[in-house]
Amino acid sequence: MSRRASYDGVVVTTPVTIPYVRFSIRAAHWWIGRALGELVKQSGIAKERIDGFCVSSFTLAPDTAIGLSEHLGLSTRWLDFIPLGGNCGVAGLRRAARAVQSGDAEIVACVAGDTNAIDSFRQGTSNFSRFARDAVYPIGAGGPNQSFAFLTDYYMRTYGAEPADFGKMCVAQRANALKIPWAMFKKPLTLEEYLASRMISDPVRLFDCVMPCAGAEGFLVMRREAAEAAGLRYARILSTIERHNAFQNDPVQFRGGWAVDRDELYGQAGVKPDDIDFVETYDDYPVINLLQFEDLGFCAKGEAPALVRANTLTVDGSFPFNTSGGQLSVGQAGAAGGMLGMVEAIRQLTRQTVGGQVPDAKLGLVCGFGMINYDRGLSSGAAILAGA
Amino acid sequence: MTAPLQKPKRKNPILRTRLPVPPPSARSRYALGLLRGAAQGRLELQVCRDCGTVQYPPREVCRRCLSDRLDWKPQAGDGELVSETLIRHSLELFFRERAPWRTGLVRLPGDVTVVAHVHSDVPRPPAKVRVRAHLDRAGQAVLVALPEHDTPNMADDRIMREMTCDPKFRKVLVTDGKTAVGQALVKALVNAGADPIWVGNAEPWKNFPGFDELKKIPQVTLLNLDVTDQRSVREIAGEVAGRVDIVINNAEVHRTYGISARYGTDAARAEMDVNYFGLLRLAQEFGPALKARGADGVNSAVAWVNLLSIYALSNYPPHGTFSASKAAAHSLAQCLRAEMRPTGVRVINVYPGPIDDEWNQLLLPPKLAPAGLATAIVNALKAGTEDVYPGDVAQDWLARWRENPKALELEAANP
């Protein structure tokens, strides 16, 4: 039995996205500032009432959340800066929820955003972490394509995944993304096109790679009463998990920290994987989707390829996932990639979707995965959200 | 299996020569621990003195017990390639120009996973490999996974060719052909596949022993090169500097005096003029051309070898002024290395103990045979190491110098 307190009474509202662009001449401050502005505008909650601020960004330097506070004229009594990349959505949500629940803050704005200038991806990759700089980047400078190719190569050989399995996910996500105006990829993708696409870092193909871009995502966390008073549609938080640097002795990453904590995730929520109506995985790269399906109990280890083959994966399918197209089709706006799934899940559960709506969506699972510090992603998280 | 390297075609002088760009060279200071072993061809990893944990990437403290008592210790490097990728799109120019580039994850004993360049003769994973520390074209230490057993032509692999300074099909200048070491070098280079070999001779009017034999070697061309004469160095550089891939500066003057055994500075000046200023003249005249050709295909300009002396590290008083001139050259060679490094041209410093020649007549054995020294130099080129301490005396001095330089100073005074 979990001894953790529930998140009763805390809700998440106001999903916002600042439309992505491939390259931007604006700084991260602009992207995050615009997202905060949208949160104020769409919620009708005055900026002065926001007393908690949770920020995630890779390109704010030399500033962090505190410098950004002054930049944006924001005075809060609770401030967090989360350096977890693709896990910042889940991590931000659970920290903000506890702050609200304890009364340390009333209204917390969670925002992730990054800019993308010419060459900033290379600069960020070359100096991403100390281990990356010392021991990975000098060996080919392939960036994330190289690191995830190692994982993909190992997974394919060990569990028999085929290129078409990855392709099926990419094709389904592309179909979901076609209605998202700010998606980087705007053309339909066929499995034939996927399989014919060139290798980037074998076995990773062109369409396995996300497109780096600039953008921002955000949402608000508050008590249910506050949301209702403001007339905001909201989703409830049933449970969350977070784990860092799990399975340190696995020779190659074939599982993430979710496998450690998933029983607690479902136990706290009081639901089973079968009850989940849709899943927002962290999809940089497709192989990581498979790890999440397995480690979060939708199938046994090694059986995700079969799960993919047995289901339709689009928003109207038998196993809807990454319902807005995910990073693979919408783009990876730095740390905002870690919040894209959370924002989409809130949209699904509050019936505010931009793209397709999962029919009768009541329960959504959102996953986070981040920080390939050396040879594996170190940070994992998940949250189960429910409609009002 | 690696196809044997074919003799490269003559370069088309009309085409632009690709300029050298180094691979990524930024490292944290602790990570440079790998460099010390790699410079001599050894794989060393951090080992915790308190709990024995081996770790990589380098850390400030032990990942298991958090002790900061970490030593870099030699490792066998036998491991397993567990995963691989062929990089076709790199973020860095160096690899973009050489794509596709094979890399992999290798598991070493002690739950250590390393990211390594992978030799093309290594089978698909899972495969047994030997991990070695090499210097790359940035002069930085990197890990390379070699096949479990040697394969034919393995030195001709594209990735190895970028790590080493193999003389095969490379054009070499040996600055002094009149000494036994110079002539042994020429023979060793011929055996290693170097072609052509230019050989310097400061006094062409004399017929030194061995010269007739040198002249019979088809790869050899003799040049009138006097490293004490700026004009001579400039003229020869004008003739061949744009084509030389490897410079081996073995010209030296060796007299056997300290300070009080010979009054005046004539002998010491002659030593400095060849051993120190000779290097400076050569570096100024040949350096720019070599640096411009650091990425000129499979037979690019690749190395600059300096024949120094183990007495460059700590003075050997019976040969005191010679030691001083070699110390000066050692220091200048560090400067040359700093200037060459960004271009991919490796400066290899060779620190022999006494060579078995006339000037070391009064020294007791062991002494280094000229052929042994030549082999050590060619092996360093093939292995891509950059600091070479050939022979027992050099190894002995190096160990004593590293352990306690003050003790060596005293011991050297009373040999």
Which of these CATH numbers, 3.40.50.720, 3.40.640.10, 3.90.1150.10, 3.50.50.60, describes B172-413?
3.40.50.720
**pLDDT in the model for residue B13:** 85
Q: How many helices and strands, by DSSP H and E, does chain B display?
A: 12, 15
Walk along chain A (388 residues) in steps of 10 and give the mean pLDDT of each run: 85 98 98 98 98 98 97 98 97 98 98 96 94 98 97 98 98 98 97 98 98 98 98 98 97 98 97 98 97 98 98 98 98 97 98 97 97 97 97
Within 8 A of A122 by CB-CB distance, chain B residues are: 91-92
Point out the residue among B27, B101, B111 whose CB comes nearest to the CB of A140.
B101
Cα B127 to chain centroid, rounded: 31
> What's the pLDDT score for residue B11?
86
Specify the 3-state DSSP secondary structure of A241.
Answer: strand
Buried b (16+ CB within 10 A) or exposed e, B99-115: ebbbbbbbbbeeebbbb
pLDDT digits (tens, 9 = 90+) for B334-393: 999 999 999 999 999 999 999 999 999 999 999 999 999 999 999 999 999 999 999 999
Cβ B57 vs Cβ B65: under 8 Å: no
Selection from B260, B266, B269, B255 nearest residue B311 by Cα: B255
Q: In the prediction, which pLDDT does A329 show?
A: 98
Amino acid at B273: D
- For residue A278, the 8-state DSSP code is E
Question: Mean of the pLDDT values across residues B228-233?
Answer: 98
Residue A2's pLDDT is 58
Q: A interface mutation test: which of B21, B83, B111 has the most A CBs within 10 A?
A: B83
Alpha-carbon span B47 to B284, nearest angstrom: 43
Q: Which residue has the tokens 């045979």?
A: B369
Give the span between the Cα atoms of B251 and A56, in whole angstroms: 61
Which residue of B82, B89, B137, B142 is the best one to mutate when testing the A interface, meaning the one whose CB has the most A CBs within 10 A?
Answer: B89
**Phi/psi class of residue B13: alpha, beta or left (left: φ > 0; alpha: ψ in -120 to 50)?**
alpha
Q: Whose CA is closest to A352, among A32, A13, A41?
A: A13
Residue A176 CB neighbour total at 10 angstroms: 27
Q: Do B85 and A126 touch (CB under 8 A)?
A: no
Is the Cβ–Cβ distance between A364 and A354 less than 8 Å? no
Report the percent of chain B where pLDDT is more than 70.
Answer: 100
- In the prediction, which pLDDT does A226 show? 98
Q: Where are the beta strands (DSSP E) in B154-267?
A: 172-174, 197-200, 220-223, 246-249
Q: What is the mean pLDDT of residues B313-326?
A: 97
**Model ipTM value:** 0.95
Per the CB < 8 Å rule, is A150 touching B23? no
Can you give the residue ranges of every domain in chain B? 30-163, 172-413
Say which CATH class A130-209+236-387 falls into: alpha beta
**Is residue A138 a contact partner of residue B20, using CB atoms and an 8 Å limit?**
no
CB contact, 8 Å: B101 with chain A? Answer: yes
Q: What is the mean pLDDT of residues B212-219?
A: 95
Separation between Cα atoms, residue B391 and residue B36, nearest integer Å: 19
Of the candidates A373, A190, A165, A209, the residue with the CA atom closest to the CA atom of residue B87: A209
- Given pLDDT bands bounded at 50, 70 and 90, which one contains residue B415? low
Residue B171 has pLDDT above 60, yes or no: yes
How do strand B387-388 and strand B346-350 relate by DSSP bridges? parallel
* Domain boundaries, given as residue ranges, for chain A: 10-119+213-234, 130-209+236-387
CB-based contact (8 Å) between A231 and chain B? Answer: no
Residues of A in contact with B142 (CB under 8 A): 138-139
**Distance in Å from the first CA to the final CA of chain A:** 26
In chain A, residues with a C-beta closer than 8 Å to the C-beta of B87 are: 140-142, 145-146, 149, 201
Of the partner residues A140, A198, A252, the one whose CB lies closest to the CB of residue B103:
A140
Backbone angles phi, psi at B185, to 5 degrees: -60, -45
Q: B308, B301 in Cβ contact below 8 A? A: no
Closest-CA residue of B relative to A126 is: B24
pTM higher than the cut 0.90: yes
The domain A10-119+213-234: what is its CATH number? 3.40.47.10
Quick check: bond before B196 cis, omega within 30? yes
Q: What is the pLDDT of residue A149?
A: 98
Q: Is A125 on the interface with B (CB under 8 A)?
A: yes
